[in-house]
Chain A
Amino acid sequence: MTQGEHEARQDHSATIEAHHLLLAIADHQGATAGRLLSEVGLDRSGVRAALDREFEHSLTAAGVSAAFHLPPAGRRPKPPGIGASAKLALERAFTAVRKKDVDSAHLLAGILRARVGTVPRALALAGVDREALLTRTQTA
């Protein structure tokens, strides 16, 4: 969660969303969840690239280009709150196990259970089979 908060800040986001948690998990290749992601070719930069592609793809669908230069703004000093998509991912992770037993693999499974939204769209654009990855996460 701490890493997810860091990712949200880097992203200039006021909230921690599921895709920030996914970035944080991908950054920890030593943990089971990070290893499962790296097996489908998703290290942190791979997840970032997939998310950027989803962002541009979705904007293009509405006839908007994100190609213009956006001057950097100052970071938000306040810690980001938990966003709706991260809340759902956590709830889905907690349904499987008791709260104190949740590890990164459970959290990844919680994120991967989302059928709609930014993360499943980014995974599809990256050519990752979400259902298959979810199954591997649950048997890991």
Chain B
Amino acid sequence: MSAEETLAPADGLAAVAALRRLADRLEDSAVERALRAGWSRPQVAEALAVTRQAIHKKHAGRLAAAGVQPRRR
């Protein structure tokens, strides 16, 4: 039996909201670690199955502030 079948609507919706928050935090952390470990931005984008533009839009400012230098291809 899947979790979705047994969850009350309020719990199901709250679980989605909580998972989104968790995924956002995990993404911030994982992207930063990958770049610090020498991954290029296109590689990070491909691993996340998103476009390079999406990575740039979401993380460029934060990473520059955190002192992570973009590695040129």
Contacts and interface: CB of A to CB of B under 8 A. Distances in A.
A54 B25 contact: no
Given A73-B32, A77-B62, A116-B10, A58 B68 contact: no
Contact of B33 (A12, A58, A71, A77): A71
Contacts of A71: 29, 33
B28 A73 contact: yes
Interface in B6-27: 7, 10-19, 21-22, 24-26
Given A61-B3, A61-B14, A118-B14, A76 B61 contact: yes
B29 A72 contact: yes
Interface residues of B, number: 30
B11 A61 contact: yes
Contact of B22 (A14, A64, A77): A64
A63 B44 CA distance: 27
B64 interface: yes
Interface string B32-73: 110000000000000000000000000001111111100000
Interface string A115-138: 011100100000000000000000
Interface of B: 3, 7, 10-19, 21-22, 24-26, 28-29, 31-33, 61-68
A-B pairs with lowest CB-CB distance, top 4: A74-B66, A62-B15, A73-B28, A58-B18
Given A73-B66, A74-B62, 15 more contacts: A13-B21, A55-B18, A58-B17, A58-B18, A61-B7, A61-B12, A62-B16, A64-B15, A70-B26, A70-B29, A74-B68, A76-B61, A77-B61, A116-B10, A116-B13
